[in-house]
Structure 1
């Protein structure tokens, strides 16, 4: 980290809520109860249908795109952006290209957010990313570039690409010298925690344990921040990572940001070897614990949740997998009321 890196995270979550409440495609995602393998009742926040993208990422990059274009429009005109569909704004937006690397849903969010605002998107994919994902990105109007053999190489290519005129790097991770734009992505994720806070305040049935899957850590950190900020009853927070990519846990144990290199994981959306430095800092002050999943445990969790009627992936079901793992290791208590995030669908 550099002396100038600002690791603080003070999201304007009300602004994020107001932005999405103004979108036609927005709806509060379902908070339901599902059954664990031993008959245990589990709260599940189902993100698999979120705003047509089928993942929580629909709340991150699209919000960041809108905020960045709002700032740029104000700088040009002195006008706060309220006319997103007007021809003069869309002509202005068409001169902006949002660039990122992606191994999963973040690229889809960038592409969808750019298209919604009239801007362009260019997404760098490593050779390991399936062709079908590239094809889906193109349906959102994104330019797809194959860059490097592994994710880290596609990130480096996106960073270099963002130096071209009119391009802006919109990553979901943070690293020394790059922290502010990803905070906007995290700010969008805060909407999930606020939706649930309102639901729990209405029901009075607060969770005792919340399982949050993590790649670079943006979702987990945003959720943890909001839970510690304003939930009336405080749960235990468990951060769930693949054993092959437990960079946040490794950083916690080392007391500093560190990588956790390993083989490729079938929890591909969580297969991040280096953490977001902002997310790690947030998690360190939120009093979280960590759990890792083997490849077999991740796959079993996806199959179990899909069998319950929510089609998802090992990444999407990782929180459920960690809950099952802990339940098997610990005695059940009547007071246990766990919550998991089903973070993405199969598409």
Structure 2
């Protein structure tokens, strides 16, 4: 059995990682031609079809969630200039950031207030559409506002949606499933915040709590779904529909960059900083962006010092065969959405040559970044989301024409008292 000492002989950086040091690692196989998993095919056209499905469901979303009315049921977040945050980061950390910074404010996504609203909601809608079409309740050209009718809700009440989560994926799955009329069971890891469990229960979801980490919650949920033919399991580790839903973000970001007059090419590269847990959200977004921008976009993954599972998986090539506990880390972090001991093998193998670099962030730094971002830009982020704000300081980009997109993956649904506690922690 390999120990952290034998692993460190092959990959010396593991010594620093095991001591919870903040590190930056540039991926040596980035951009190299590698064979993709044989059973995976996803094209730009597939991503466009997913976007079209979300647009078909806009009438239902508009009826089910009042906060989406102003956007006609299209659930999308703004791209915000972040000049004040950029200047503050430069001053605080004594480094110049070449190029311009923007915040992709998925913290403001309606319905569930995080990046998980992309993949999680998309997968449930896709499943609901398949059931309804197969039952003859609707055609693809039908009026999708009917999904909010009692006829559809009664039909869906015979089915159960199940998933395992550290928090935000469970929120997105629970909220959209309950709105459609599904029964829903969310298996939550010990890292999950109490307010997220409470909110799910308010929406009518059954929450099963586990005194273990994310992987255990997912395993139990997966087994529960296998034993019930009317259950559907949203698999954060291996789901292609989930991955595709996240990839739609690339089309949305491309539109926003175009509208802002921002060019992405060799002289104007795009760097995107993505907090990473099991890898499905940052992996899907990165995959979509690579389909849109090719070699001119550079995804960078951010992880907590206690749980750099994707970093370890890609660095060693072991992927989900290696846990952060194998090198002495405890997987305990304030960044609950990133508290994952083992990464997705599916995402790791697919994306290992498409991730530009990785960096890790200590919990105290997450609090500090959270406070800085609110003070400068008025953006409320969760600690997990704050991991992205350190990115431009770590990559040492030399191109003055670069665009840096800091993906703020969650925050708007955090109860005020919880957010205030995190904010005050960042001001100490």
Alignment of 1:209-288 (within 5 A): 209-231=271-293, 234-257=296-319, 258-261=322-325, 262-263=329-330, 264-288=332-356
- Asked whether the 8 Å contact 1:100–1:171 carries over to 2, the reply is yes
Q: Is the 8 A contact 1:29 1:46 kept in 2?
A: yes
Larger Rg belongs to: 2
Instruction: Please give the alpha-carbon distance, in whole angstroms, between the structure 2 residues aligned to 1:211 and 1:15.
Output: 26
Q: 1:32 matched to which residue of 2?
A: 80
| Cα distance in structure 2, aligned partners of 1:138 and 1:61 | 18
- TM-score norm. by structure 1 comes to 0.87
Aligned partners of 2:198 and 2:335: how far apart in 1?
Answer: 21
Q: Which of residues 350, 360, 372 is equivalent to 1:292? A: 360
> Per-residue deviation at 1:217?
0.8
1:303 aligned to 2:371? yes
Residue 96 of structure 1: CA displacement?
Answer: 0.8
- Supply the distance in 2 between the matched residues of 1:283 and 1:90 (Cα, whole angstroms): 38
Q: 8 Å contact 2:164–2:236 — kept in the other structure?
A: no
Contact 1:63 1:113 (8 Å CA) reproduced: no
Would you tell me which structure has more helix in proportion to its own residues? 2
Q: CA deviation at 1:259?
A: 2.6
CA-based RMSD: 2.5
Cα distance in 2, alignment partners of residues 9 and 338 from structure 1: 26
Q: Does 1:115 align with 2:170?
A: no
Bigger shift: 106-115 or 139-148? 139-148
Q: Is 1:183 matched up with 2:240?
A: yes
Contact residue 267 and residue 314 of structure 1 kept, 8 A: yes
1:52 aligned counterpart, secondary structure? coil
Task: Structure 1: give runs of 5+ residues left out of the alignment.
Answer: 175-181
Residue 344 in structure 1 maps to residue 392 in structure 2: no
Matched, 1:156 2:224: no
Provide the TM-score with structure 2 as the length reference.
0.72
Q: Number of residues paired by the alignment?
A: 334
- Following superposition, the deviation at residue 269 of structure 1 comes to 0.5
- Offset at residue 27 of structure 1 (A): 4.2
Q: How far apart are 1:7 and its partner, in Å?
A: 4.3
Return the offset for 1:270: 0.9
Partner residue of 2:231 out of 164, 167, 172: 167
Evaluate the alpha carbon distance shift between residue 128 and residue 292 of structure 1 in structure 2; reply closer, same or farther with a 3 A threshold.
closer
- Measured against aligned partners, the alpha-carbon deviations of 1:149-198 in whole angstroms (never above 9, x if no partner) come to 33333223212321234222112112xxxxxxx21112111222111111
Of 103, 123, 130, 1:44 maps to 103
Cα deviations by residue, 1:196-236 (Å, 9 ceiling, x for unpaired) = 11122331333532112211111211121111112277132
Q: Distance in 1 between matches of 2:289 and 2:193?
A: 35
Distance 1:46 1:337 in 2: 16
> Once the 2 structures are TM-superposed, how far is the Cα of residue 332 of structure 1 from its aligned partner?
6.1
Q: Which moved more, 1:286-295 or 1:305-314?
A: 286-295
